[in-house]
Structure 1
Amino acid sequence: MCSNVEITVYFRYGAPPVINPLGTSFPANTSVQPSFFVKMLQSNASINISHPAPGDWFVAAHLPPSSQKIEVKGFVPTCAYIFQPDMLVMRVVEVSILEPNVPLPQTLLSHPSYLKIFVPEYTQELRLELQGCASNGSLGCPVHLTVGSATLPSNFQKVLTCTGPAWVCHLLLPSPPWDRWLQVTAKSLAGPHVSVAFSAVVTLTACRPWIVNFKQLLQSSPNQSCNASTGLLSPSPGYQDLGRNIRSMISNNTLVMVCVNAASPFLLFNTSLNCTTAFFQGYSLSLSTSSRKAKLIIPYPETDNWYLSLQLVCPQSPEECEKAKVLIETTLYLVPCLDDCGPYGQCILLRRHGYLYAGCSCKAGWRGWSCTDNSTAQSTAQQRMATLLLTLSNLMFLAPITLSVYRCLLVEASIYAYTMFFSTFYHACDQPGEAVLCILNYDTLQYCDFLGSGVSIWVTILCMARLKAALKYVLLLLGTLVFAMSLQLDRRGAWNMMGPCLFAFVIMVTMWVYRCGHRRHCYPTSWQRWVFYLLPGISMAALAITIYTSMMTSDNYYYTHSIWHMLLAGSAAFLLPPRDKHVEPWACSQKFTCHYQICKNHREELYTVT
C-alpha cells in the first residue's frame, strides 16, 4: 500500500518551477524561486491566486527527499503519486485602458477599480499621477494603488498609498517592461460607504537608442535623444542593433559597467549603477584594465527578452572618456548544467509534457546548482569507506565460487566470478569525487553488473533443480539470453530480473515434487540439509529481495546495497546442492557375462551401458 506523504506543489510565473528533484536548492535569486507553493497533506488542496500576472504559469509537484527510494520498478513500495490540477478562472469584466497623457476619471466605493497600461518599446520612464482627488468633497486622497501583479514577489510590484495632498501622489517607474500591459489596481482607504473620485494620468518618456557607434558616442550626449512622448519614437536611420557581437579592447584608466536585465534594459547609468529596473533586479558586471574578463551565470533564466547595457566610466577624469576607445566582445551560450556538475554530480535531462529539464544529480551529500555546496557533503574518508563497503562486500562471492569448484560445478563458478568482478569495478566507478576507478565505460560496467546478478540467481536455482545436463545447459543459455534482452529494454525493471527467476523456481519445485512422488520420500531426504542449508539460504535470499525492493534509499545505499551483495552470495553458497561423497560419479551396479556393465549416475539418475 502506498503511504500518505506530504506533496509540495509549486506555481511559478514565466518559466517552469525548479522543483528540486536532484538534491539542489533554490538560490537567493527571485528569477528562479517559485511564486507560490502549497503542501498537500490530504487528497485535495486548493490555492487562490487573485489577479495573476499575465503570461505563462507552470505547475509542478515534488515529493520530500525522505520518501524517495532507489528506483526499482514493478514493486508496490515504489508508488507513483499522481495529482490532477484543475483550474477555475474568474475574469474581471470592467478593465479600463489608461492612455498616455489622457486623464481617466475614476470613482471608488467598496469595490476596487482595475486599469491597464500598455508600455511600448524604448520607454525610459513611466509616471503615474492622481489628479483632482477628493473624498466626499474633502481634499484628502485615501487611495491605495498597486502597479504590477500582486501574485509575484514584492520587487515585481510597486505600491503607492495616497493619504496626503493629491499633488504629491505620483509614482515613477524607471525602465518599465517593454511591449506588455501593466496592471493597476486602485482601492479606497476611506471606508465602505465613502466615495473617492480622482483622475489617473500616465506619462511615458521614450528614449531613442543613442549608442550607434563610437563616432556618435564621442559627438553626442545621451540626453540629446530623449524627450517626453505619448508613444513610441522611431529610431534614427543610422541606428544599429547593439546585439552580442561587439569586440573590444579596454584603455587605461577606464571602467566599463555592464547590466543584464530581462523585459527592459537598464537606462539610468548616470544616476545609479545597481542595474535595477521598474520590477526586476538585473545582474551587474564590470571590466577594467586589471580585470579584462567577466563571467555571469544565470540559472534557469526567465523566458523573456534579455538586454545588455554598457556604460563607459572614467573614475579619475570624465574627460578621459572622450578619448577612450573600448571594444567589448560578448559571448552567450546555453548549457544544460553548470560546469557539467563537477566531480560530485551528473548532468541529466528529463522531458515532461514537451518541456526539457536539465539539472545536476549530486552525490556524496553535495548540493547546489553545480554540486558545489559542501554543507552536507561527505568527507574523503566517508567516501572511501562507502567505496570499500560496496566493493569489498563482493568478496563474499568467493564462498560460492570455491564450493562450486570443489563440487565440479565449473559453469556456476565462472558465472559467480563474472558477477564478482563486474560488481566490484562497477561500484568503484559509480562513486563520486576522489574515490573512483573506472576500467571500462560506466554504462558497460553497470550493464554487466546487472546481467551477472540476474544470471547468478538463475543458475543457482537451476542447479538446485538437479536437471539432466543437456536440459540444464539449454535452460541456462536461454535464461542468459532473456536476461540480456530484458535488461536492454529496462535496466531497472524489477520484474525483468525476478520474472525469469520465478520461472526457474517453478521448474525446481516441479522437479522436487516429482522426486518426492517417485521415491515416496521427501526431497531432499536429509533433515540436516533442510535445517543447516536450505532454510538459512532461503531466509537470506528472501531478506536480500526485501532489501533490494523496498529498503534501499539514496541515504542508506552504501550499507543496504553492501548487505545485498553479501546476502546474495551467501544464499548461493548455502543453496548449492552438495556432492555425494559415498558414491563415485559413475558407479557400475551390475555386470554381465558378455563383459557389458550397466552404470548409474546417482546425481542425474541416468543409466549407461559400458
Structure 2
Amino acid sequence: MIKFALVLVFACCSAQNSLFNGYDFGQHYSRIRIFDYDSYSDAKFLKFNIRAPTIVANWSITVTTEGKCSNDFTNIHFYLQYGAYPLTAPRNESFPQTYITRRHNLFKLIFNQTLINPLIQLNSPSIGTWFAMIFIDRPTSTIEPRISNTGCNIYLSTWLDYQVVSIPLTLILNEPIQIVLTNDKPSIYTSYYTLVGNSRIIILSEWSSNCDIIILAKINSLPNISLYDYKTVCKNKTCSMEIDQLSAFIWIYFQITVNNLSCLINPIHGKMLIRSIECLSFSNNFCIQSYPTRRIMFNYYYDFLYVPIYMTNRSNRGSTSSITLNGKDLSLYSYEFIVDDRNIGGTLYLDFDSRIMPFVSPNVNVSIHGCISKYRPLLFERCEYDYRIIIEKNSMVIRSLPYPEMALWYLTLQYVCNGAVNECANATLSLMFQISSSQCTKQQCGTYGVCRILTSQQNVFSTCSCIAGYRGYGCTDDTHAYTSKHLSSVLFLTISNLMFLPAIILAIYRHLYIEALIYFFNMFFSTFYHACDQDINKFCIFKYDGLQLSDFIGSYASFVITLITMAIIPRTIKAFLFMLGILTCIVINSRDRFDHLQFIWLISITFIFTILTWIIVSIKYRRLQPSSKRLLLYMPGFLLAFAGLILFAFCETDKNYWYIHSLWHIFIASSILFFLPHKNFYKKESVKQRLRPAQPNININIDSPSIGTDNQVIALPIDNASLSSSNTDSSKKSTDDLLH
C-alpha cells in the first residue's frame, strides 16, 4: 500500500533560521517493495516535488524486511535526480557510443541494513520535481541460488520534509528596491523571474557602507557560500553583476550578505536595480538569437519531432531542418526546445548530416561546432565538455540524451573554418539536422533486446529488456554475453531429458504403464519447454506459459508417482493414489508454480506415507520389508536423487543454469531406475497348495512283552488343525505380491 501525503503545517521559525518564517512540507511513500537489480525494469521510481525555495531538504529512509532474510549485507541503492529519471550503470554497463551520460544534480546513496534509518540531506535543492530510483544490488562475488531469496521481501519507506524560506523582496525589471542589512538581518534573499528569454541582464547596486558586501545568485534554488552560479563582491559602495542570456520562466535567487558583522553596528542601506543589456554584435555584449521549435507528437510514447520556427525572412525559410553556413557572415544558429514530463522517459536524439558544396575546394578545413546546454545558449568554448559536438565536413553525427532532464534546452551551431579568408568566405556547408525523441534507442534495443514501456508508482518510462547476457541502456554491452555458447546450452537442457528413456523402457518391461506414461509426459514437456525458454532462436510448440506449467506438473508428478510406486500397498490403491497425486500437482502448480515450499511439503508427505507402509508391513509380518537386498539397491537411487536436489536448491544460479539444471535432469532420471519394483519372475503357487500343511511321518516303536514278537510301525492319524498354527505364514499372502 502506498501512502502519499502532502502535509502543510504552519511552523514557527527555528533558532537556526530565525530570519525566516515559512511552512513545512512533507511527502511520504510507505512500504515500497524493492527488488534485485538486473535492468531498469527492476527499479522503483518515486516522484517528489519541492514547491518553493528552501535551505535544506531531508529524505528520511526506513527499510523493513518480511520473511526469511539471511543476507544483511545486501546493498540498497537510493538515487536522487533533479528533473529526470536517474541515469546510472550500477554494474558498470556500457552505453552506446553516441550517448551523453553526464548528469546534473544527481545524488547517490548506497547503504545496507546495518545502517539504521539513513538520511539524505541536500543543501539548497533546486525547486521543482525530483525523482528517486531505488533497487537492491547484491555483491557480485556472492553466488545466489535461484531459490535462495524467494522467501525474503524488502520494503522501503521514505519521507521528504523541508521548510520553505520566505523571500521578502522581488526584483522587477527597471524598478529599484531598497535593502537594509542589520545585526538582526545580516543576510537577505531576493528573487527575479524571467519573462522574456534570450536577453542579458545586469544587476546594479549601491550601498551606504564601504564594507564588502557579497551578492550571490543561483538559478532555481537559494545560493550559499559554496553553491552559486554567479558571484560579485561590492567594494567602495557600488558593484554590478552580469548574467548570461537565460530562457524565460526561470527564477533567479540572490543572497546579499555581510561577512564582517562589525560593519553592522549601524544598519547598511542599499539599492538594487535589474535591467536588460542591449545586445551588440561582435562585442562583449554579444547575444545569441535562438529560434523556437514546435514539438510534434506522434502516436507512440515519447515519440516527438522538434521543428524549428524561423521568425526572420531567411532565404530558406521553407526548410525546417536545413541551414547553410559560410564565412561571409556570423553563421551562428541556436534552437530552443523543451523537455518536460511528457518525454523524460525516452531518449532525445540530435542527428546531423553535413555536406560541403561541390564548388568548394576539398582541402579547406571547415567544420561546425555545436553545444547542447540547459537554460541558456552557449558557444562551443563555454560549453560543458560532454555536451560539445564537432561536425566535420561530409560526415554524419548523432548525439543522444537518455532520460533527458526537464528544462528549456538549446542547440547552438557555429561555423568554424581554419584557412585563408578568401577560402573560408566561399567554403559553404549545408547541414541537415533533426531533433527528435523516442522510446529506448529509436524504439529499438539492438539485436538482443526488446523495448518496453513500464510504469513504476505512476511514473512511465521506456527501457530495454536485454537477452542472451547483453546489458546496458541499449543492450549493447556484450561483456557477459553468451551467444557463443547458446547452442551448447540448448542441447544440454533438451538432450539431458532423454535420460528418462531408460526409466520409461524399464517401467514398460515391468508392466508399470502408468509410471511409464508420467515419465514420458515429463520428458516430452521438459524438452520442449527448455527449447522454448531461450533468448535466441526459441522453438515453442505452443504458448510459453502452457509449456512451463506442463513441465512443472510433469516434474512434480514424477516424484509423487515414483514414491507411491515404492509403497507396499495393493495396486488398486496405488492407482487411486496416482490420480490423487496428479490432481494435487495440477492444483498447486496452478496456484503458484514457483512456491518451492509447497513442493517440499508434497514430497515430504508422500515420502512419509511410503515409509509408513514399509514399517507397517514389516511389523505385521515380522520381517524387514523391503528386504535388505532391495534397500541396498535403493541406495544408489537415493544418492543420485539427493545429489540432484542439492544441485537444484543450492548450486543452481542464473549463470550456470544451463549445465547444473541439465545435471539435475540426468541425476533424477537415473535415480528412477533403482526405485522401480522388480517383476515377480517366479511362478506363483496356487492358494490351495499354499494352504495345505505338510504331512509328517511318525514312527512308533512298540516293544512286545513276549519273546519272538516283531517290532511294528503303526501310522496314526494326525489332526490337521493341531498343526495349522505352525504353518500360519504359508497361509498368508506373500508380501512380495503386494509390490505388484
Check 1:208–1:100 CA distance in 2 against 1; reply closer, same or farther (3 A cut).
farther
Provide Cα deviations, 1:94-145, integer angstroms capped at 9, x if missing partner. Answer: 554333333342638796543333233x4223535252257x524x444444
CA contact (8 A) 2:219 2:251 kept: no
The answer (yes or no) to whether the contact 1:483–1:496 under 8 Å persists in 2 is: no
Matched to 2:582, the amino acid is: T
Higher strand content, 1 or 2:
2
Q: Distance in 1 between matches of 2:673 and 2:240?
A: 86
Partner residue in 2 for 1:368:
472
For 1:42, the aligned partner's letter is L
**2: CA distance, partners of 1:132 / 1:15:** 40
Corresponding position of 1:353 = 457
- 2:206 is aligned, of 115, 126, 132, to 132
Structure 1's 249 and 273: CA in aligned 2 closer, same or farther, altered over 3 A?
closer
CA distance in 2, matches of 1:209, 1:299: 24
> What is the distance in 2 between the residues matched to 1:523 and 1:332?
75
Amino acid at match of 2:70: C
Cα distance in 2 between the residues matched to 1:250 and 1:4: 58
What is the identity, as a one-letter code, of the residue corresponding to 1:2? S
| 1:479/1:169 CA distance change after superposition, 3 Å | farther
Evaluate the alpha carbon distance shift between residue 301 and residue 251 of structure 1 in structure 2; reply closer, same or farther with a 3 A threshold: closer
Query: 1:158 — aligned with what?
Result: 229
Equivalents in 1 of 2:474, 2:153: separation in Å?
28
Question: CA separation of 1:97/1:214 partners in 2, compared to 1, >3 Å: closer, same or farther?
Answer: closer
Q: How many residues align?
A: 552
CA distance in 2, matches of 1:529, 1:405: 20
| Separation (CA, whole Å) in 2 of partners of 1:215 and 1:430 | 51
1:35 correspondence with 2:110: no
Counterpart for residue 24 of structure 2: none
Equivalent position of 1:107 in the other structure: 181
Deviation at 1:472, TM superposition (A): 3.2
Aligned pairs (5 A) from 1:295-310: 297-302=400-405, 304=406
Alignment partner of 1:117 is 2:187? no
* Structure 2 counterpart of 1:390: 493
Q: Could you tell me how far apart the structure 1 residues matched to 2:250 and 2:323 are?
A: 39
Please name the residue that 1:237 is paired with. none
Inter-partner Cα distance in structure 2 for 1:96 and 1:547:
71
Give 1:560's aligned amino acid.
I
Partner in structure 1 of residue 70 of structure 2: 2
Q: Within 5 Å, give how 1:276-425 maps onto structure 2.
A: 276-278=373-375, 297-302=400-405, 304=406, 332-333=437-438, 335=439, 340-347=444-451, 351-356=455-460, 358-374=462-478, 376-378=479-481, 380-425=483-528
Alpha-carbon distance in structure 1 between the residues aligned to 2:450 and 2:84: 23
Aligned equivalent of 1:438: 539
CA distance in 2: counterparts of 1:202 and 1:191, whole angstroms: 26
Match in the other structure for 2:12: none
Structure 1 contact 257–284 (Cα < 8 Å) conserved: no
Contact preservation (8 Å) 1:345, 1:363: yes
Indicate the residue corresponding to 1:273 in structure 2. Answer: 370
Amino acid aligned to 1:583: Y
Match of residue 552 from structure 1: 652
Q: How does 1:151-190 map to 2 (within 5 A)?
A: 158-162=229-233, 169-176=240-247, 178-186=248-256, 188=258, 190=259
Aligned to 1:267: none
| C-alpha deviation, 1:18, in angstroms | 5.4
Letter in 1 for 2:585: F
Distance 1:346 1:277, change over 3 A: closer
For residues 28 and 438 of structure 1, what CA distance do their matches in structure 2 show? 38
- Unpaired runs of 5+ residues, structure 1, are 222-241, 265-270
Deviation at 1:348, TM superposition (A): 5.7
Q: Distance in 2 between matches of 1:186 and 1:169?
A: 13
The counterpart of 2:676, out of the listed 577, 581, 605, is 577
Q: CA RMSD in A?
A: 5.1
Q: Distance in 2 between matches of 1:114 and 1:372?
A: 49
**Does residue 141 of structure 2 align to residue 47 of structure 1?**
no
Task: Go from structure 1 to structure 2 and tell me whether the alpha carbon gap of 1:358 and 1:217 turns closer, same or farther (over 3 Å shift).
Answer: closer
The secondary structure found in structure 2 opposite 1:438 is: coil
Please tell me whether residue 460 in structure 1 is matched to residue 562 in structure 2: yes
Q: Give the Å deviation of 1:604.
A: 5.8
Higher helix share: 1
* Superposition deviation, residue 208 in structure 1: 10
1:219 aligned residue (310, 313, 317): 313
Q: Give the secondary-structure state (helix, strand or coil) at the position aligned to 2:548.
A: helix
Aligned 8 A contact 1:588 1:599 in 2? no
Q: Which of 500, 518, 540 is the matching residue for 2:620? A: 518
The answer to whether the 8 Å contact 2:640/2:671 transfers is yes
Match of 2:171 in 1: 98
Give the Cα–Cα distance (whole angstroms) in 2 for the partners of residues 372 and 150 of structure 1: 41
Which residue in the other structure is 1:562 paired with? Answer: 662
Give secondary structure in 2 for the equivalent of 1:2.
Answer: coil
Quote the Cα distance in structure 1 between the aligned partners of 2:104 and 2:510.
63
1:193-204 paired onto structure 2 within 5 Å: 193-194=262-263, 199-203=271-275
Check 1:332–1:59 CA distance in 2 against 1; reply closer, same or farther (3 A cut).
closer
Which residue of the partner structure matches residue 226 of structure 1? Answer: none
User: Which amino acid letter does the alignment assign opposite residue 508 of structure 1?
Assistant: T
User: Alpha carbons of 1:263 and 1:363: their partners in 2 closer, same or farther (altered >3 Å)?
Assistant: closer
The 2-side partners of 1:328 and 1:499 are apart by 65
Distance 1:90 1:410, change over 3 A: same
Retained in 2: the 8 A contact 1:540–1:570?
Answer: yes
- The 1:423/1:58 distance shift into structure 2, 3 A limit, reads same
TM-score, length-scaled by structure 2: 0.60
User: Per the alignment, do residues 523 and 216 of structure 1 end up closer, same or farther by CA in structure 2, a change over 3 Å counting?
Assistant: closer
C-alpha deviation, 1:257, in angstroms: 7.1
For the pair shown, the structure with the greater C-alpha radius of gyration is: 2
1:423, distance to aligned residue in structure 2 (A): 2.9
Range with greater deviation from structure 2 (254-263 or 99-108): 254-263
Structure 1 residue 164, shift from structure 2 partner: 6.7
Does the 8 A contact of 2:198 with 2:290 survive in 1?
no
Cα distance in 1 for partners of 2:119, 2:668 equals: 48
> For the structure 1 residues 486 and 13, does the alpha-carbon distance in structure 2 shift closer, same or farther, using more than 3 Å as the test?
farther
Q: Once the 2 structures are TM-superposed, how far is the Cα of residue 170 of structure 1 from its aligned partner?
A: 1.6
Aligned to 2:15: none
- Inter-partner Cα distance in structure 2 for 1:85 and 1:126: 41
Taking the aligned partners of 1:511 and 1:572, their CA distance within structure 2 comes to: 19
Q: Would you say the 8 A contact 1:117–1:182 is kept in 2?
A: yes
2:585 aligned residue (467, 474, 483): 483
Matching residue of 2:162: 89
State the Cα distance separating 1:579 from its structure 2 match. 0.7
